[in-house]
Amino acid sequence: MSFAITLAIATGSGGSAEPQEDFTLYAAAQLVVLNVGVQDIHGANIKGLRAEHFKVFEDGQLQSIKQFSVEERPVTVGILVDASASMRTKQSEVARAALAFMGASHPDDEMFVIHFNDRAFSGLPSHLNFTNDPEQLKSALLARRAEGRTALYDALILGAAHLAKGKWENKALLLISDGGDNNSDHKLGEAIDTIQNSGATVYAVNIFEPHDPEHKPRVLRRLSRMSGGEIFTPRGIGELDSICVRIAQDIRSSYTIAYTPPRPDQYSKSRKLKVVVTTPGSTKTVVRTRTAYTLNR
């Protein structure tokens, strides 16, 4: 039996952060599936944990973990790159950082590139939906000269549609932008709805010119939080490489937990989630996961 799980995303210590916006995840079984990132207070991913280190609570009630996985799984990833005039001097650095992201990613990941300026368009040739070849990715990233205005919302919708063509269950978008939009045919609300329905996790890199009136970090923050990702703001263009490598490592380091929801016949009722992690040696942790969901028919 298939159903949709509407989940809210938050970030916080011990999984106790306040819920953010709802996110819709479609599952093909009667299981609530959670991707859980566990980091120490310095941001380093904590590996080697086992199922007994995790406790999952739904509406305050402890749940029995049915499935637990620490295995890395390939991901379908879209790299969405602002190619407007404001990015002209940064294009080569962005391409280099995206290649660093690929180098740190799972070797079986399938990737594609979406550029956006006056419109959104694919960076790969029309006959090629995905690649894990560095030279093909480099060519895709440098396919167009940075110029024109910014159609971010159109790029998000195009990227979400392309993710659906991928073969891997896990989906992610790496978005490099200042969050501004001044030329899309679609509205922000449409883009948000599309991302929600795609099941993609958005990792946003907030890159901008000082005093740029088009800079809208709240848009990037909203997209990343509602989808379970993160937003990163480099202090300078030289930090792009390390940030993209960090994002690839975060994607590869998450734990997968699944449990059977109680009262599976009670739809459209919001259910609160909390994941508590107890590490060996009682290391303080930051737990990133979904914090609420609604069962939909």
Tell me the domain boundaries of the chain.
Answer: 3-64+260-296, 75-251
Give the model's confidence band at 22: pLDDT under 50 very low, under 70 low, under 90 confident, else very high. very low
What stretches of 83-145 adopt beta strand conformation (E)?
Answer: 110-116, 120-122
Average pLDDT over residues 190-197: 82
What pLDDT is stored for residue 262 in this prediction? 87
Q: Name which of 29-38, 159-168, 237-246 the model is least confident about.
A: 29-38
What pLDDT is stored for residue 201 in this prediction? 84
CA dihedral (62, 64, 70, 73) positive or negative:
negative
pLDDT tops 50 at residue 208: yes
List beta partners, residue 131: 111
Class at the top of the CATH hierarchy for domain 75-251? alpha beta
Q: What is the pLDDT of residues 88-129, one digit of tens each?
A: 888 889 999 999 999 999 999 999 999 999 999 999 999 999
Decide if 168 contacts 77 (C-beta within 8 A): no
Two tokens, residue 195: 């991302």
Higher pLDDT, 123 or 10: 123
Average pLDDT over residues 58-69: 94
Q: Rounded mean pLDDT of the chain? A: 83
264 DSSP 8-state letter: T
Average pLDDT over residues 1-16: 38
What pLDDT is stored for residue 25 in this prediction? 42
Residue 146 and residue 90: Cα distance in Å, rounded? 9
Higher pLDDT, 269 or 177: 177
Decide if 243 contacts 232 (C-beta within 8 A): yes
pLDDT tops 60 at residue 10: no
What pLDDT is stored for residue 194 in this prediction? 84
Pairing of strands 65-69, 120-122: unpaired
pLDDT tops 60 at residue 15: no
Q: What is the pLDDT of residues 254-278, one digit of tens each?
A: 888 889 988 877 766 767 888 899 9
Pairing of strands 61-63, 285-296: unpaired
Higher pLDDT, 258 or 78: 78
What pLDDT is stored for residue 82 in this prediction? 92
Give the model's confidence band at 236: pLDDT under 50 very low, under 70 low, under 90 confident, else very high. confident
132, amino acid identity: N
Average pLDDT over residues 167-196: 89
152 closest CA partner among 128, 124, 106, 186: 186
What pLDDT is stored for residue 175 in this prediction? 97
